[in-house]
Structure 1
Amino acid sequence: MLLIRFLIISICILYIIRSLMRYLIPALFQSVINKAQQQAQQQQSYQRRKPEGAIKVDYIPEGRKSRLPDSEGEFVDYEEVK
C-alpha cells in the first residue's frame, strides 16, 4: 500500500514538473536570446561609429620619433630555384 501511494505521488509530482517546464524553459531561452540580440546590436552600433581604416595614435614614445632609413632594414639573400 505504501509503495503504491509513493508511486502515485511521484508520478503526479513528475507530471506537474513536466507541465511547468513546458512553459518555463521557453521563457528562459527567450530571455537568453533577447540578451544576446541586445549585445549583438550594441556591438554593431559600436562598429558603425568607428570609420573603417581610420587609425588614431594616442601616444608616441619620445625615443621613437626618428625613423630608420630603408638601408638600415633587414635583408635576406635568396636564390631562385628553377
Structure 2
Amino acid sequence: MLLKVLIIIICILYIVRYLFKLLLPAIFRSVINNAQQNAAQQQNYQQPKRPEGRIKVDYIPEGQKSKVPDTEGDFVDYEEIK
C-alpha cells in the first residue's frame, strides 16, 4: 500500500514537472509581450507628434524676459590650458 502511494506521488510530480516545462515559457512570453505593448501605448500617449526642428514657446514668465539687452556682451573665444 505505501509503495503504491509513493509511486503515484512520484508519477504526479514528474507529470507536473513536465507540464511546467512546457507551459511556463509560454506564460512568460505572453506576460512579457503584454508588458511591452502596454509600455508602447503609454509612450505614444506621453509624446505628442510634432515636426522635427520646430520649437514652440507657450508661456514666458514676466520676470524671465530678457534681463540683458541684445546690445550688451559678445561671445568671447577661449583656449583650454592644460
| TM-score in terms of structure 1 length | 0.53
Q: 1:8 to 1:49 in 2, by over 3 A?
A: same
Q: CA deviation at 1:39?
A: 1.0
Letter of the 1:49 partner, please give it.
K
Q: How large is the RMSD of aligned CA atoms in angstroms?
A: 3.8
Q: Report the count of equivalent residues.
A: 78
* 2:47 aligned residue: 47
**Structure 2 gaps, min length 5:** 52-82
As a proportion of its length, which structure holds more helix?
A: 1
Q: 1:50 to 1:40 in 2, by over 3 A?
A: farther
Instruction: Quote the Cα distance in structure 2 between the aligned partners of 1:18 and 1:35.
Output: 26
Stretches (4+) displaced over 6 A: none
Q: How does 1:1-82 map to 2 (within 5 A)?
A: 1-2=1-2, 4-42=3-41, 43-44=43-44, 46-49=46-49
Q: 1:24 to 1:37 in 2, by over 3 A?
A: same
| TM-score in terms of structure 2 length | 0.53
Q: 1:50 to 1:19 in 2, by over 3 A?
A: farther
Q: CA deviation at 1:45?
A: 5.8
Instruction: Quote the Cα distance in structure 2 between the aligned partners of 1:50 and 1:18.
Output: 52
